[in-house]
């Protein structure tokens, strides 16, 4: 394991991202990548996620969001760096 400090990124994904299995696919990807955080649908039709983990793992999770699962049609991804909270596990609230 690396001594690299963890990072945290909040992501808002735009496009056809609700009703296509985005949250569940995202949770599977995060579990496979050892990324902690959460993902949820927002009332405006976007999906919001927070990823915490190693810089490389979080970057890979953010990159995955640019395409999402097979039936998603992502039109944009907004990211913002945040203070690490020390989350463990990944959930869909």
Q: Which residues are catalytic?
A: 23, 41
DSSP H or E stretch at residue 16: strand 7-16
DSSP assignments along 21-86, one per residue = SHHHHHHHHHHHHT-EEEEEE-TTS-EEEEEEE-HHHHHHHHHHHTT-STT-EEEEEEEEEE----
């Amino acid at each position: 394991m690396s001594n690299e400090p963890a990072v945290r990124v909040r992501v808002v994904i735009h496009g056809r991202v609700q009703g296509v299995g985005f949250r569940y696919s995202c949770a599977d990807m995060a579990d496979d990548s050892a990324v902690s955080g959460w993902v949820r649908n927002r009332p405006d039709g976007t999906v919001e996620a927070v990823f915490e983990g190693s810089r490389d793992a979080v970057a890979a999770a953010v990159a995955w969001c640019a395409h999402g699962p097979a039936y998603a049609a992502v039109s944009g991804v907004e990211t913002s760096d945040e203070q690490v909270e020390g989350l463990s596990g990944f959930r869909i609230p």
